[in-house]
């Protein structure tokens, strides 16, 4: 009986330790960038990147400037798949992705066929 009680108390203690240590959030989740912030944040993050990454980031910014949000969205997804991104670049792209995703979804709701196609492709190939 004592062994059963000891095992029960040990299990409860272990669950308590795991639940309190495993749920710590030292870093808050990323927030979307505003349209005004996006170019500066992406440019800063990729200012020291290799030429390939810098070129892809420039393409995203050019698409944003042209209001081709579907192209920018796909460019961000492509760039996020590159293995040699540093944490600052990954964070900048994640935040930019949230912003552009909202814009693509808004374009889709207004009947933009290209936006619909891009979102469908993204969902099928996640």
Per the CB < 8 A criterion, the answer to whether 95 and 30 are in contact is yes
Per the CB < 8 A criterion, the answer to whether 84 and 53 are in contact is yes
**Range 59-64 average pLDDT:** 95
Q: 11: how many CB neighbours lie within 10 A of its CB?
A: 10
Per the CB < 8 A criterion, the answer to whether 8 and 16 are in contact is no
What is the DSSP code (8-state) at residue 34? P
Q: 54: how many CB neighbours lie within 10 A of its CB?
A: 14
User: Considering only 1-10, 44-53, 65-74, 95-104, which range has the smallest mean pLDDT?
Assistant: 1-10
Q: Using CA atoms, how far apart are residues 15 and 86, in angstroms rounded to an integer?
A: 35
Does residue 54 carry a pLDDT above 80? yes
Which secondary structure element, helix H or strand E, spans residue 125, and what is its range?
Answer: none
- Dihedral over Cα of 83, 36, 101, 111: its sign: negative
Does residue 10 carry a pLDDT above 50? no
Instruction: Using pLDDT thresholds of 50, 70 and 90, give the confidence band for residue 58.
Output: very high
Tokens 């910014």 correspond to 61
Per the CB < 8 A criterion, the answer to whether 93 and 85 are in contact is yes
């Amino acid at each position: 009986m004592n062994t059963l009680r000891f095992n029960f108390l040990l299990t409860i203690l272990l669950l308590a330790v795991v639940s309190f240590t495993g749920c710590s959030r030292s870093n808050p989740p990323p927030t979307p960038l505003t349209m005004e912030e996006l170019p500066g944040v992406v440019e800063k993050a990729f200012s020291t990147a290799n030429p390939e990454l810098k070129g892809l980031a420039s393409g995203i910014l050019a698409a944003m400037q042209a209001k081709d949000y579907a192209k920018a969205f796909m460019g961000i997804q492509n760039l996020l798949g590159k293995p040699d991104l540093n944490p600052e670049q990954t964070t900048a792209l994640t935040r930019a992705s949230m912003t552009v995703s909202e814009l693509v979804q808004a374009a889709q709701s207004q009947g933009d066929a290209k936006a619909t196609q891009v979102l469908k492709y993204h969902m099928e190939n996640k």
